Structure 1
Amino acid sequence: MIMTGKLKPIFSLLTAALIALSSAGCSPRPPLFFHQTQAGRDQSARKPFFGPWPRNLVLITIDTLRADHLGCYGNQTIQTPAIDTLASQGILFRQAFSPVPLTLPAHASILTGLYPPVHGLQDNGYFILDDRYNTLAEILKEQGYTTAAVVASFVLNSRFGLAQGFDFYEDNIAPDPNRSDPFRYERKGDEVLRLAKDWLKQKGGTKFFLWLHFYDPHDPYEPPEPYRSSYAQEPYGGEIAYTDSCIGQLLAILDELKLRDNTLLVITSDHGEGLGEHGEKTHGVFIYDTTLHVPLIISHPRLDLRSTSLDFLVRTIDILPTTLGLLGLAEPGRSYGQGVNLLPWITDDKKPSPNLQLYAESLYTKLNFDWASLTGVRTSEFKYIRAPQPELYRIGSDLKELHNLLLEEPKLASGWEKELQEMEKGFAAVRSAQGGARAKVVADQEIRRRLESLGYLCAPRQEKPRDKSESNRSSPDPKDMVQVLESLDQGQILYATGKLEAAAQQFEKILTLDPGNIFIHYLLGDVYSRQEHYHKALDHYLAVLREQEDYLEVHNKIGSVYDHLNDYERAAQHFHKAAALHPDQPRAYSNLGIIYIKTNRLSEAEEVLLQALTLSRKQDDDQEMAFSLRCLGDVRLRMNDEEKAKEYYQQALRIRPSMVEVYLELARYYTSQGRYALAIPQWEQVIMLLPQDAQAMFALGHCYLLTGDRQEAARLFRHCLQIQPDHAQARRLLEELERK
């Protein structure tokens, strides 16, 4: 939603929340909640540029980038000349931190200036940013900017709400066949650059804001050559070096288009990477500095503060108000989320530190495994983490966070716990001012599949998150579950690579370590279902429902299992339940339509499939749209309405030209009617898409035989036997042809 000329209501609600909080006796500290801007065109802070204010903004977010892996932050082994040069020409914040170690929530905080408990996106996928929140793109849109974004991962797909305010949001990402896992929904940095250059050539003459997201340092670490060879012992570093080369090319593009001198560059990251420290290989689970400390560099050729390095703590929620300040757009008296405009400290090195505090959280393990959530507060001196086994670190002398002071300093820990509670009161006050609204939860099996392709283990979601009182067990501390996490990673790799027996053994082993983990039951249901061990799959899916009965995906999965077991009545019951739980999700209606087709209830099938089609069109979901259209074609074909069936099939194929089920259904239909000349081109399309399908090869050969083309039939029967030597019908017919 694009706003012009006025703020969304959310900002007045934020101010009201502060007033209410103060009058209730709570005294919010200015750095923790909402701030009046301290800089604008009429600010007292000195102007930080030679000449006019920058006209354009390029925000670069490099996914999964630890600050200590850049040369400008002290790393001496990874070559990052482009980023280092920008740091030498600008402002480097040595102590910048993200509030959350997950891509979607962290980017939502960068773009809104709000903490995750306020904007509501607290995990990847499933949550959608409410359009009441002002994003940086919308604020700049108000100021006449043309806005664009190029994102490199499905995690930031526009369906999650971050596209608000962007005129152009490029998130159309196809799986990359050159990756080790060809079904990963991400794009390499060179593709981000190509799209950015194309857009800049068209729109660079206008006042613009361009956000570029680079995903390359995210695992798996597979840098292209020459970085693969140069960093063979440190592929994560190779991905960073490759991304730096992309930044260098971007600078060359800006120079080529004569945009550099008028463009403010901001470089940061959403989170870091564990790299084995604290038992975490990647990110998302813990809130140690390994995954929260990120680079933050602001650069411009005419910046009158070259090589400025600031050592006080800042947060990524401060990027929005600070960027507006550096563009000369921060209006005095107007609040910009929960961040601080850092311009007064940037321009006055004698100004005392703002003494900011960071709120940090990870709900990843709570939402996915029902382990304890982690929340905490960090200052330049201390880090406190709330957990079943709380942690307190004196950062100044313990940068690696290895010496827990909890037992030595219980009073200090108690004080920080109270500080954290005060923060949470502030968040609650803001949510109350919004009428208690939270980010929308989306239960979508396709979202889960795409996130898992990127390495995120995602439990099925329900509309209403489970309360602690509803769980039959106490939540384990993630610190105690490191071995389980490692086993989960191994099991997921086995599952993704099709080693289903080994994956099942791995997940069964995890159940002995964490018997109450319903997510493992869900994964085992999936594994056994793929192995066609349907009764075993059913046992595990039902175990999930015993804990939480309103999981949409689980009802869909159970319905599919009963479908395979030919128990159509029970299948329909679970699909009905799924549709009742989430009446806005098309897949449950499509599944129900398939059951009705199989039980010859064609009118009912058509009714629910039209409902699925309407929903998928409303949601602009191409995959569900094509599926519904294909099923509607199946219905009409069974009604002997061939013309209408073809119409539906053609619509489905326009969306998904490789939808083999359409050709297969038509081929079988024409074959069953003895219309072999019409069946032949359909079987040929099937074989083009499935060249190793022996049964399709045989069916095509049989059609040629029945139309009198014995030579072509013999050729196809031979090909069928090459694929499946024990195909008895093909062998018998081929022998008959050869005898004649």
Structure 2
Amino acid sequence: MALASSVLWLIAACAGGGEEPPRYRNVLFISMDTTRADHLGLYGNAEVKTPAIDALGAEGVVFDACMSAAATTLASHTSLLTGTYPLRHGVTRNGFQVSPENELLQEVLRDAGFYCAAVLGSAALTHKSGLDQGFDHYDDDFDLAAEAGGRDQDQRSAADVTERLLSHVDEVLQRRKSDQSVPDRMFLVAHYFDPHAPYAPGAEMAQRYGVEPMVGDFDDIEQAVQSQQARILRGPAAEGLTAAQANMPLGQQSVIQKGLNEPLVRRAAGVPTKMGRTLARLYAGEVTRTDDAIGTLLAGLAARGVLKDTLVVLTADHGETFWEHGNFWNHGLWVSQTDVHVPLILRFPDGRGAGRRVDTSVSGVDVMPTILEALGLVEARAGDVEPAHGRSLMPAIEGLALGDRATFSEATQPGPILEVAPDGATLPWGNARKPQAVRLGDWKLIDAGYLGLQQLFHLGRDPGERTDLLAPGASPLSEEARGALADLQLALSRWRASASPKTSAFDPSQIDTLRGLGYTEGQRK
């Protein structure tokens, strides 16, 4: 049955009584920007220290195979809060605007009697994006200004996000004492931006990870990008390339503006440079610093008596490729696991499902329907939902088999150059020509329309996506692989056919704040 809109979910629940389960009085939604699942302790990384998140996972349900809906901040967050993919909600990339035709999670919860508040870490989610619709309080007052030249975004530190959210909770709790109109249930959103480039965790954290105090700024990242690209496009490694391929300009902005080429995709060896290793350690420091802030937030809510009644959901909008694949030090150009494999943890205040691990592939679009069912705001649904919508994960939380279902992700770069058809015609949705991924079980297909290539991986045997079974010169596909490829291609075709995007347009007033990281490439010309 298609979950056409959250309005219908509420109607269905109210028709059946819609009683509020008091044990889940509040919801805390923690969003970590640019956070790879494989850089958290509970996902098997022994080097990156994330004790607060690890403890949260031990008390909750951990999903081991969650795929981000899109490899950029605004499009992914819109999917998280609508339960739909970009080909339905319409947001192509950062700088676009969320159509008011979308109904977001906070709007559903506000109508159900929740006070909704968000504290944001990055201007990618500014109120100009329209993501603020339905919030009673939307704090995007950033205290760290963009670099001169627009090479960074207005943002704030993880510690400040925590401090501002706890301070606002205090205000709400105080107001409740004298104003009975203030709802006694809260939906709280904390968005942490620190793991995003530039990687500047501070001297103490850098030293903890064996790096001399330094800032992993955009010049350092550019050096790492160009060094990796040169290994493929210059010198002996460039044998067999066309002149255009071998002579393409090096640097991150070149591929952000015009896209990757086949040699960058197929010939990336996955070997880091010295600068790359340093940047990875600084990134780890940023993740640990964010974990510290999350720990402080959880402890602060516990001290205020709020956490004991709160369902906690922690996830990330997307990951970050380092040296592993040809989209070096980027998260918008491709859809490898480094880009789209993200954490997902649900911790219930009554210990429901505590300690359970779920290895079925799920998606960020599943978060909204899961929260609504957990709160009793939607009846349990049997059968499949259409491919453009998420499904509730509550059966898995109860220990039941979830059943394999195709999950999808899409790249958002390059921007304007690919957002119209070659003949100038309108596309089914903004990212239709950009790389897309579909996963079903352990099999994953990447389809990059603008490059005319596909990649096939078996993630169970090849979690790092080093062996593309469709690469030129690869061995003939096994019967299993041929069947999987046909299933994946069919699922991707059906998903694309479900495109019906709501109206969204790029907001040129955001260019100055978003320029430089590839978070915007400007308007269509």
TM-score by length of 1: 0.53
Question: Are 1:248 and 2:298 an aligned pair?
Answer: no
Q: Secondary structure at the match of 1:297?
A: strand
Query: Shift of the alpha carbon at 1:164?
Result: 1.1
Task: Give 1:386's aligned amino acid.
Answer: D
1:306 pairs with 2:367: no
Q: Is the 8 A contact 1:122 1:362 kept in 2?
A: no
Q: 1:190 & 1:333 partners in 2: Cα distance?
A: 40
2:39 paired residue number: 69
Corresponding position of 1:343: 394
After TM superposition, give the deviation of residue 72 of structure 1 in Å.
0.7
Q: What is aligned with 2:453?
A: 389
1:448-459 equivalent positions in 2, closer than 5 A: 448-452=511-515, 455-456=517-518, 458-459=520-521
Give the total of aligned pairs.
418
Give the 3 Å change call, closer, same or farther, for CA 227–298 of structure 1 in structure 2.
same
Aligned mate of 1:404, from 468, 484, 491: 468
8 A Cα contact 2:24 2:349, kept in partner: no
In the alignment, residue 391 of structure 1 is paired with which amino acid?
Q
Instruction: Determine whether 1:218 maps to 2:279.
Output: no
Mapped pair 1:296 → 2:310: no
Q: SS of the residue aligned with 2:453?
A: coil
Counterpart amino acid of 2:112?
Answer: Q
Measured after TM superposition, the shift of residue 152 of structure 1 is 0.8
- Partners in 2 of 1:198 and 1:182 — Cα distance? 31
Structure 2 CA distance, aligned partners of 1:212 and 1:267?
Answer: 10
Change in CA separation of 1:195 and 1:342 when aligned onto 2, cut-off 3 Å: same
The counterpart of 2:488, out of the listed 416, 420, 432, is: 416
Query: CA offset at residue 39 of structure 1?
Result: 13
- Give the aligned residue type for 2:513: R
- In structure 2, which of residues 85, 97, 103 is the aligned counterpart of residue 115 of structure 1? 85
Q: Distance in 1 between matches of 2:14 and 2:58?
A: 24
State the match for 2:523 in structure 1.
461
Matched, 1:207 2:203: no
CA separation in 1, counterparts of 2:374 and 2:141?
32
| One-letter amino acid of the counterpart of residue 440, structure 2 | T
Structure 1 SS opposite 2:441: coil
Contact 1:163 1:169 in 2 (8 A): yes
SS at match of 1:109: helix
Structure 2 residue identity aligned to 1:390: Q
Query: Shift of the alpha carbon at 1:411?
Result: 4.8
- Matched residue type, 2:357: S
* Secondary structure at the counterpart of residue 427 of structure 1: coil
Is residue 370 of structure 2 the alignment partner of residue 322 of structure 1?
Answer: yes
Q: CA deviation at 1:345?
A: 2.2
Counterpart position of 2:322: 275
Check conservation: 1:40, 1:330, Cα contact below 8 A.
Answer: no
Residues in 2 aligned to 1:321 and 1:391: alpha-carbon distance in whole angstroms: 31
Task: Choose between structure 1 and 2 for higher RCO, CA contacts under 8 A separated by at least 6 residues.
Answer: 2
Deviation at 1:457, TM superposition (A): 5.8
Residue identity matched to 1:149: A
**CA distance in structure 2 between the partners assigned to 1:290 and 1:86 by the alignment:** 23
Does 2:504 correspond to 1:439?
yes
- Give the aligned partner of residue 148 of structure 1: 117
More helix by share: 1
Give distance in 2, aligned partners of 1:246 and 1:40. 41
Deviation at 1:366, TM superposition (A): 4.8
**Which segments of 5 or more consecutive residues in structure 2 lack a partner in the other structure?**
177-183, 212-277, 423-432
Cα distance in 2 for partners of 1:219, 1:426 equals: 34
Any idea what SS the aligned residue of 1:295 has? strand
What's the RMSD between the two structures over aligned residues?
3.3
Computing the radius of gyration from Cα coordinates, the structure with the larger value is 1
The one-letter amino acid of 1:81's match is P
* Cα-to-partner distance string for 1:401-450 (whole Å, 9 max, x where unaligned): 1222226339543553232111111224xx5xxxxx422333x1x41221
Within 5 Å, give how 1:629-640 maps onto structure 2: none
Helix, strand or coil for the counterpart of 2:117? strand
Match of 1:425 among 497, 503, 516: 497
Q: Look up the SS of the partner of 1:441 in the other structure.
A: coil
Distance in structure 2 (CA, Å) of the matches to 1:207 and 1:61? 20
How much does 1:381 deviate?
1.8
State the Cα distance separating 1:225 from its structure 2 match. Answer: 4.2
Cα distance, 1:173 vs structure 2: 1.7
Moved more, 180-189 or 252-261: 180-189
**How far is the alpha carbon of 1:299 from its aligned partner?**
1.1
1:211-244 Cα deviation digits (max 9, x unpaired):
1100000011100342122122401000011000
| Structure 1 residues 61 and 286: alpha-carbon distance in aligned structure 2, compared to 1, 3 A threshold | same
Letter in 2 for 1:441: F
Matched residue SS, 1:365: coil
Matched, 1:357 2:422: no
Q: Residue 363 of structure 2 contacts residue 408 of structure 2 at CA under 8 Å; is this kept in 1?
A: no
Counterpart residue identity of residue 229, structure 1:
Q
Q: Post-superposition shift, 1:52?
A: 4.4
Q: What amino acid is the match of 1:274?
A: T
Q: Which amino acid aligns with 1:95?
A: A
Question: Structure 2 vs 1, CA of residues 414 and 301 (structure 1 numbering), >3 Å: closer, same or farther?
Answer: closer
